[in-house]
Structure 1
Amino acid sequence: DTALAAYEHQHLPFDRIVEELHPQRDLTRTPLVQHVFALQTAATESWQLPGLQARRLPLHTGTSKFDLFMALEERPDGSLAGTVEYPTALYDAATIDRLAQHYVTLLGQLAGDPGAPASRAQLMDEAARQELEALVNDTAQDLGELTVPELVADQARQRPDAVAAEYEGEWIGYAELDWKANQLAHHLRESGVGQETPVAVCLERGLDVPVVLLAILRAGGCYVPLDADYPAERIAHMLADSQAPILLAERHLAQRLHAPSGVRTLIWEDVREVLGEQPAQPPAVRLRPDHLAYIMYTSGSTGRPKGVQVTHRGIVRLVHRADYVEFGPEQVFMLLAPLSFDASTFELWGALCNGATLAIYPVGQPTAEGLEAAIRRHHVTVLWLTAGLFHLLVETRLEALAELRHLVAGGDVLSPAHVRAVLDGTRVKVSNGYGPTECTTFSCVKSGISHADTESAIPIGGPISNTQVYVLDAELNRQPVGVPGELYIGGPGLARGYRGRPGLTAERFVPNPFGPGRLYRTGDLARLSPGGELEFVGRADHQVKIRGH
């Protein structure tokens, strides 16, 4: 309506408008408008005059008056010819070629079916969509029907005496981890843990953590990590919402949790004393990849915390046959994140499912000095840091990062200057990790950031193995390269949904219009680069992140 109303004043000189509005002058751009579209009526191509024949010749000044000027002109035969004028400082020829092709595709669809809603018209034809799919989502790897306990047990068979975890000068080998987890799994079965039984866990970091979590999975249950520092109201909500019948906690932490009467509390120190009576072989539990492995609660930034239900398949997709980090027995991962933060999934199971060593950071909040000491003491090779902690470490302890082989940072926007400082001052491989809790830690990783990547915003990369990403418009049409849209994620990393909230699950986990399964609607805006990498643009809503949450 605004555009149509403006035609009533179409003969008003542009100079007069500028004179009346007095816009602030900027020599780098034109006043009022920077993008112009013009439709010209058919013009006379030639003139026959007495003794003179004239014809119109195209002439270009070699300059661009606007940031983008697109003109269509009607020809005598009824067809349209178009030109695009642009400053080469802002656009390259490939971008303009794509723009023109998308516009031609759009016009063809509208003309081919004039009665169809305009919202159904797409900017790409089928061939272009298939080409984009092959560029971005060719990530399939055979995961088989594996579960987390099977992967760890396989490592225990292959390297029984290898160090599985280290903490404060003590360590546990893979064989010991395996049989201790089996003993606890038997005890948990006797305590009522069955298939997908939620077991709330509250432990401080230490060698008991991998034993307990692996045992819960071996017993067929799923763990619900709690942080004793959470407000009592939040803990009560998590226990009630998860419907966990059992809480396994250290004595001094259990006293702070105030579990409701319907929850049976197992004191870890007491349980540990009686485990020697249990068999060292695994219990006879039929575990499938689609069974729940954990329920993790989000920060509740959009309301009350939501319990995200993650399956074994999601974890296996993250750490098995993955292409974004060099997993293997020669690596040392650090367990730094709280168990209630999904980065711990990458740290813990990335190590134990691949025969690596898990170096467990001491109890307490991480500090730059503490991280430097831990990295050197344990010879850590792979480290995950939130963006905030990464920036702090670069500013205060850059030399500590030189000990690493691979640093993965994320959870918020990475500063190009800080990444550049690491590239200039160390030989560490730096990657940007992106992914919501609902998609099992990482969905996309920009692996091996280069100096060229730091010249602008650091991309979040492409999808990791067995993950699909789609940049869509409001009608769930695929957006072409360079066009922003909402980011949707698919693949076996998707959580089952939110605990006890089918309505919210249906809202965020939507049917996949491009194939089987579902897509998770992230609420993040992104665009694809010509090379198939994603660039984070912002939020589709007004959420902001504070310290990675």
Structure 2
Amino acid sequence: LPFALTTAQAGQVRALALEVGATPFMVLLAAFQALLHRYTGQADLLVGSPVAHRPRREVEAALGCFVNNLVLRARFHAGQTFRALVAATRATTLDAYANQDVPFELLVDDVKPPRDLSRNPLFQVMFALQNAPRAATALPGLTIEAQLPDSAIAKFDLSMNLVDDDAGFTGYVEYSTDLFERSTIEGLREAFSTLLDHALRDPDTEILDLALLSPAARHQLLVAWNPPAEDEAAPQTIAAMFAAQVAARGDQTCLTTASESLSYRALDARVARLADRLIACGVGREVPVGICMARTAALPVAMLAVLRVGGACVPMDPKYPRERLAFMATDAAVPVIVTDASARGVIAGSSARVIDVNALEDERGDDEGRARGDIAVLRGAAIDDLAYVIYTSGSTGRPKGVALTHRGVSALVRWSHEVYRDDDLQGVLASTSICFDLSIFELFVTWGRGGRVVLVDDLLALQASPLASGVRLINTVPSAMLELLRMNAVPPATRIVNLAGEPIRQALIDQLYGLGTVRDVYNLYGPTEDTVYSTFARLAPGAQGSPPIGVAIRHG
């Protein structure tokens, strides 16, 4: 990929090099290392660089290749400025020049790094600047012009090769097409130019503050990909969105389980009753409430009741080890846990107050349709209040609580209007444990849109379930979807498949479209911290290359 610095950039590079007692190579290498640091987050980088290795006069005119590869290390730390990085690069480079007689092959033998046939030892990225003067060559009747090499094989994962001549700095970026798309390298090339501009303009800027996005790229991210919504309604809490659906479609079925189907109005009545009990137990705005129970209709009732009174759900799957559940309850400081008879034993010993929904059902009598104005949504949360805390495994293996607000869920519901039709959500399979954020989409996005949830124990139980015939949308991980395909158990009414949480292979996409009933397959990516999903892409059958993660979901 061709690359060139502007005339202004070339002049500024030479000026800064002169100012700090370095060479243009050292300034450009520092900028390249800063770019790699910003792209990767690595604080310790190794970059290779070739040297002519003709330190003695007697070999200057000798024919042959004397080139040796140097390994140049860059270390980054908080508060480091570009000027400081250039100084460090200068010291490292001079030290390497002093030891350039050591052949690279002997260095590898001495260091003995872990070997991997898929990559070069010690460094996988190369930076080269050729500054040897070109010999003046003239041939009668011919015009001679230097050309970039046309190589079909990348020697390293990534290389930046520049030539220093009177016109400035020109060259090319060479990259492995097994690792990078051309568009990625085009973006990296543009980011290098933008970072270099900023660094040369103000070398005392900290590395982490150097700009990477050009004005055009910034406009694309902030404006082109995030157009303002027209007549966008104000965001609503989860409880408010559900209440709106109760008012609009009270008699429509919103939940189907193996034992019963409930309308919006009937489900709301159960939510209201449990909400009364939660209020009596002192639950209010942003009070965390543990929810540990089997996957029956009582499970979403408990979640909606907590949200209705302004509390925050802390999902606790009864299939988890008791020690993990105890940690979650203690870490989240839950004063109340909602459970049922099947799960009560796994939370025995907790200091939290326990509400058993089975006992509450026994007390209910025949008042399910009674109006309950005393616990109206007016008692609920504000849009930026805590909605739920989901415990992920954490990088250390110790559970880590991720706290999210209602605003993120509201934005997810708003985004769903851009992707799913109303009838797509009349049969959303809820098969994910409530301890995983995919369940937030399955329950609250569906109800926020007036859809119907099909609640099952797990995805693979679908094969033997009579509920399968009503499933229109499946939201799961690729490995589970592969198993469902192997079992020949994908419900024939399924039109939409959301895949998330794992890398996706094109073969799986093609299998799904090959069923003849699936209309859309989506790749959804995002950490729990970003309210379930950050990006999405509709995946096409028969596509080449790795499936894309798509474009950003607007959470504003």
The alignment's TM-score, normalised by the length of structure 2, stands at 0.70
Pick from 197, 208, 212: which aligns with 2:298? 208
Q: Does the 8 A contact of 1:226 with 1:235 survive in 2?
A: yes
Pick from 422, 447, 458: which aligns with 1:352? 447
- Residue 175 of structure 1 deviates from its aligned partner by 1.1
SS of residue in 1 equivalent to 2:539: coil
The percentage of counterpart residues that share the same residue type is: 25
Query: Which aligned pairs between 1:345-424 and structure 2 lie closer than 5 A?
Result: 345-361=440-456, 363=457, 365-367=458-460, 370-374=461-465, 377-397=468-488, 400=490, 402-424=492-514
Q: Does the 8 A contact of 1:408 with 1:432 survive in 2?
A: yes
- Residue 146 of structure 1 deviates from its aligned partner by 1.1
Pick from 3, 9, 16: which aligns with 2:53? 9
Distance 1:353 1:47, change over 3 A: closer
- 1:511 equivalent in structure 2: none
Deviations 1:314-366 (A, max 9, x none): 221222353564153662111101122221111111222221111111x4x54
Q: Does the 8 A contact of 2:48 with 2:125 survive in 1?
A: no
Structure 2 stretches of 5 or more lacking a match?
Answer: 1-25, 27-45, 70-102, 109-114
Moved more, 62-71 or 278-287: 62-71
Structure 1 stretches of 5 or more lacking a match?
Answer: 468-490, 492-549
- Residue 119 of structure 1 deviates from its aligned partner by 6.2
- Residue 271 of structure 1 deviates from its aligned partner by 1.3
Alpha-carbon distance in structure 1 between the residues aligned to 2:549 and 2:455: 27
Distance 1:33 1:393, change over 3 A: closer
Pick from 381, 389, 400: which aligns with 1:287? 381
- Residue 437 of structure 1 deviates from its aligned partner by 1.7
Distance 1:184 1:40, change over 3 A: same
Alpha-carbon distance in structure 1 between the residues aligned to 2:527 and 2:444: 18
Alpha-carbon distance in structure 2 between the residues aligned to 1:269 and 1:460: 43
- 1:82 equivalent in structure 2: 170
Distance 1:119 1:244, change over 3 A: closer
Aligned pairs, how many?
A: 449
- Residue 414 of structure 1 deviates from its aligned partner by 1.4
Distance 1:55 1:434, change over 3 A: closer
- 2:330 equivalent in structure 1: 240
Alpha-carbon distance in structure 2 between the residues aligned to 1:84 and 1:5: 15
Pick from 422, 437, 451: which aligns with 2:528? 437
Alpha-carbon distance in structure 1 between the residues aligned to 2:542 and 2:223: 25
- 1:308 equivalent in structure 2: 402
Alpha-carbon distance in structure 2 between the residues aligned to 1:65 and 1:250: 63
Alpha-carbon distance in structure 2 between the residues aligned to 1:116 and 1:457: 37
Alpha-carbon distance in structure 1 between the residues aligned to 2:233 and 2:508: 36
Moved more, 416-425 or 93-102: 93-102
Structure with more helix by fraction: 2
- 1:340 equivalent in structure 2: 435
Q: Is 2:247 the partner of 1:157?
A: yes
Q: Is 2:361 the partner of 1:298?
A: no
Alpha-carbon distance in structure 2 between the residues aligned to 1:239 and 1:205: 20
- Residue 118 of structure 1 deviates from its aligned partner by 6.2
Q: Does the 8 A contact of 1:35 with 1:66 survive in 2?
A: no
Alpha-carbon distance in structure 1 between the residues aligned to 2:291 and 2:181: 55
Distance 1:120 1:42, change over 3 A: farther
Moved more, 296-305 or 95-104: 95-104
- Residue 394 of structure 1 deviates from its aligned partner by 2.7
Distance 1:396 1:114, change over 3 A: same
Distance 1:43 1:396, change over 3 A: same
Q: Does the 8 A contact of 1:180 with 1:280 survive in 2?
A: no
Distance 1:21 1:225, change over 3 A: closer
Deviations 1:16-52 (A, max 9, x none): 879995999x9xx9xx99956332345465769xxx7
Query: Which aligned pairs between 1:15-414 and structure 2 lie closer than 5 A?
Result: 21=105, 37-43=128-134, 56-58=144-146, 70-75=161-166, 79-84=167-172, 101-113=190-202, 121-138=210-227, 142-260=232-350, 262-276=351-365, 280-282=371-373, 283-284=375-376, 285-323=379-417, 325-326=419-420, 328=422, 331-361=426-456, 363=457, 365-367=458-460, 370-374=461-465, 377-397=468-488, 400=490, 402-414=492-504
Higher RCO, Cα 8 Å, sep 6+: 1
Structure having the higher Rg: 2
SS of residue in 2 equivalent to 1:73: strand
Alpha-carbon distance in structure 2 between the residues aligned to 1:243 and 1:402: 44
The alignment's TM-score, normalised by the length of structure 1, stands at 0.70
Distance 1:116 1:352, change over 3 A: closer
SS of residue in 1 equivalent to 2:270: helix
Question: What is the one-letter code of the residue matched to 2:438?
Answer: A
Distance 1:112 1:62, change over 3 A: same
